[in-house]
Amino acid sequence: MAVLPVVKYGDSILRKKVNKVDINEIGQLTNLIDDMFDTMYEEEGIGLAANQVGVNLNLMIIDVTHLDEYKDLEPIVFINTEVLQENGSIELEEGCLSIPEIRATIPRAESIVIRYIDELGQSNTTEFNGMFCRVILHELDHLNGKFFTDYLSSAKRKLVHSKLLEIAEDGYPSTGVVL
Ligand code: NI
């Protein structure tokens, strides 16, 4: 097990749609998944997408069990996730391990129904809401080459533009903010 470097804003792997996982190869992902959990906990994140550790696969992990409403759940591994339904809209502030120090309030769906494959190769169709829904949508955006800052108005994006450039140039060290 190992903590992997988190890829920062500016790296092209974070701007590409990732490849689907071959479901016959899920068994070979065990070490990567363990390393992703080590990395996420080290960075104090609650979600991590595979391309954030430089891996071009449709794989993400989420652990929101520190929140009371999810304390009975286990951390979840999501493979080849598809959104089947989105409902409602709610604005909340979020941050990103790949964009240290920038936080912004953006709208996202309040609840979603997704289909995903877990680390055992089982297909699941599940509804998620609240913070869990938000983290899923944030990580899915990563897997589609998108950042939460893409949702900002052009005026607000101008405010964070120089900071984004700085992160892109420096590979700025993570300060351990959320997703
Ligand atoms: Ni993120």
**Domains defined for the chain, CATH in brackets:** 12-178 (3.90.45.10)
Asked whether residue 156 carries a pLDDT value surpassing 70, the answer given is: yes
Q: How far is the CA of 31 from the centre of ligand 1 (A)?
A: 21
User: Are 96 and 90 in contact, with CB atoms under 8 Å apart?
Assistant: no
Query: Looking at the chain, how many residues does it have?
Result: 179
pLDDT at residue number 177: 42
pLDDT of residue 170: 75
Q: Compute, in angstroms, the gap from residue 96 CA to the centroid of ligand 1.
A: 4
Phi-psi label, residue 80: left if phi above 0, alpha if psi -120 to 50, beta otherwise: left
User: Which residue among 25, 69, 82, 139 is the active-site one?
Assistant: 139
Say how many Å lie between the CA of residue 167 and the centre of ligand 1.
14
Q: Active site includes 82?
A: no
pLDDT grade for 64, boundaries at 50, 70 and 90: very high
Q: What pTM does this model have? A: 0.92
Distance in Å, CA 70 to ligand 1 centroid:
20
Query: What is the four-CA torsion angle of 165, 170, 175, 178, rounded to 10 degrees?
Result: 50
Q: What is the mean pLDDT of residues 68-92?
A: 96
Q: Give the span between the Cα atoms of 28 and 157, in whole angstroms.
A: 40
